[in-house]
Amino acid sequence: MRVAEQVAVVTGATSGLGEAIAKRMAEEGAKVAVVGRNQKRGEGVVAHIRQKGGVAEFFQADVTVEAEVEAMIEAVSRQFGKLDIVVNNAGVVIPGSVATVKKEEWDEVFAVNVTSTYLVSHYSLPHLIKQKSGSIINISSEAGLKGLANRAAYCAAKAAVVGMTKAMTVDHAADGVRVNCICPGTIETPMIKEMLAKHPQPEELMEQFFSRRVTPQLGTAEEIAEACVYFALPDNKYVTGAVLSIDGGALAK
């Protein structure tokens, strides 16, 4: 078990990427704080981990709300006695160009993708700095590294996550805290299924997904989860400030 006895906080862990990351961390021996708003789904993830012999607890929090994030991090610290790994995974996509996206939609995309990453990191860092070790893993997107049609707010927000990762890397290297970033391409998750269901021409949208890559398939949540484990490994002391694209070759095309 590669992260045995480590304590991992995973936000947005009640479905999709976050759920897969939480389960994979537990499989590798971590004690996992499953963080999200939906208690029923969160407890379902915890039950699955425990059935497999892992250790997990659900912590209900809206990670865009400062007081809830502060309380959640303190609760995790009390429950498990420490904090080692933080995965900032919570995210949302709202389509639109700068000309069409509404101010409240823009604010929501930045709150969920950027502000949550700041808040969870802000309240986690004192614990990591105190013990002079820790790994923060921010989940960005291929949209943070290139322009995508009709995704202005999402591209801007995910680019901000990449920039924040680099700034945190420089600021906290001397504290023993490593910070890395993963930029997934289109991954088969409930969020993608929901986007397809709401789209007036789902076949056309799916073709857009495939046209950006060189692989004949989309990515899986398990592939992203495995990358998170790599970044979390305590012995990978030279691995910090990395921005890893897992996108089916989209950036290379």
State the amino acid at position 35 in one-letter form.
V
* Nearest CA among 158, 155, 82 for reference residue 116: 158
Q: Are 246 and 182 in contact (CB under 8 A)?
A: yes
| Adjacent-strand bridge partners of 180 | 137
Provide Rg for the chain, Cα atoms: 17
End-to-end CA distance of the chain: 36
Instruction: Find the catalytic residue in 118, 123, 154, 230.
Output: 154
Q: Active-site residue 154, yes or no? A: yes
CA dihedral 236, 13, 69, 39 (to 10 degrees): -150
Q: How far apart are the C-alpha atoms of 42 and 47, rounded to whole Å? A: 9
Catalytic residue IDs: 154
